[in-house]
Amino acid sequence: MGIIEFDKVSYSYAAHADKPVLDGVTLSVEKGDFIAIIGSNGSGKSTFAKHINALIVPNAGKVLTAGLDTANDELVFEIRSHAGMVFQNPDSQIVTSVVADDVAFGLENLATPYSEMTKRVDNALDTVKMSAFSDRNPAHLSGGQKQRCSIAGVLAMSPDILILDEPCAMLDVRGRRGIRRLVRELNKAGITVVLITHFMEEAVIARKVFVMHEGRVVLTGTPLEVFTNKELLRKVNLDAPFSLRLAEELIKRGVAVSEIARPEELKEELCRLYSTK
């Protein structure tokens, strides 16, 4: 069994009870995996994400997170200790005026002993490379730094699963690059990552991509499998990432690169091809 299991999950918001926002979603995420969820606005990505840590429970079907049924009220805290979530707007996640306090916030709610708490906060800040900012006011940080602190707040709870709902949507290029690198490192260290994104460049760093459309998962595959499916991408209003489009144009012009979705790999191939050594 995967660490996240969705079995025929359907959901509609009370205000529009006749309109399913999730429509029979079945999927499984293996422990330690890195998945990306893509899909146009309103396709149900955030609603999907909120099901993982029991912020929303299904109207029909079942969600198991770390083997725990999210519909069971008594398991909510345990579920959230397994699966932590980072949201789009870094400002909406700031609750105090000191970075370290902000990172400790979730632990305080769990009544963690002080010495254990400071240790965990220090470690989390170290992991996201924000130790030097520990006594600063988070309001004065850049968007990327704020998101690092939000991630630290989740890491301090030592979750198995990190869910990021468009964490880079409000960041500049540099902030995005930093978050991307951090998320990759965290996954390498063993944490299961669910990254929701509308930046295709970001989705390519996942091992597996799920495409959502009108509340359903309409395609699953490796980034290359998904992004070379032009017909489907067009249907769901998504583009292939720039690196893949560039590789295709180069191939058309006779450059011997492979069809590739990840920018780093394309860069390596081009360097190999044109290296003078």
Binding segment (CB under 6 A) for ligand ADP, from list 40-48, 72-80, 81-89, 249-257: 40-48
Residue choice 41, 92, 115, 276 for contact with ligand ADP (CB under 6 A): 41
Choose among ligand ADP, Mg ion, none what residue 120 binds, the Cβ cut-off being 5 to 8 Å by kind: none
Angle at alpha carbon of residue 130, lines to 128 and 136, rounded to 5° = 145
Compose the 11-50 pattern: x for residues touching Mg ion by CB under 5 A, - for all others: ----------------------------------xx----
Q: Does 216 contact ligand ADP by CB under 6 A?
A: no
Nearer to Mg ion, 170 or 246 (CB): 170
Cα 162–chain centre separation:
7
* Interaction partner, residue 21 (Mg ion, ligand ADP, none; CB < 5-8 Å by kind): ligand ADP
Closer by beta carbon to ligand ADP, 196 or else 260: 196
Residue 45 touches ligand ADP, criterion: CB under 6 A: yes
DSSP state of 98: S
Please, which residue, 46 or 147, has the CB nearer to ligand ADP? Answer: 46
* Smallest gap from residue 226 Cβ to ligand ADP (A): 16
Q: Residue 16 or residue 277: which is nearer to ligand ADP going by CB?
A: 16
Rounded CA-CA distance 183/165 in Å is: 13
138 binds, among Mg ion, ligand ADP, none (CB under 5 to 8 A by kind): none
Amino acid at 102: D
Q: Which is nearer to ligand ADP, 47 or 70 (CB)?
A: 47
The phi and psi torsions of 97 (rounded to 5 degrees) equal -110, 15
User: Under a CB-based contact definition with an 8 Å cutoff, are residues 12 and 67 in contact?
Assistant: no
Residue 125: both structure tokens together:
């800040």
The binder of 15, among ligand ADP, Mg ion, none, by C-beta within 5 to 8 A per type, is ligand ADP
- Based on the number of CB atoms within 10 Å of its own CB, is 114 exposed (0-12), middle (13-18) or buried (19 or more)? exposed
10 Å CB burial of residue 248 (0-12, 13-18, 19+) is middle
189-213 core/surface letters (b: 16 or more CB in 10 A; e: else): eebbbbbbbbbbbbbbbbebbbbbb
Do 176 and 145 touch, CB atoms closer than 8 A?
no
Name the residues that contact Mg ion, by CB under 5 A. Answer: 45-46
Residues that bind ligand ADP (CB under 6 A): 13, 15-16, 21, 39, 41-47
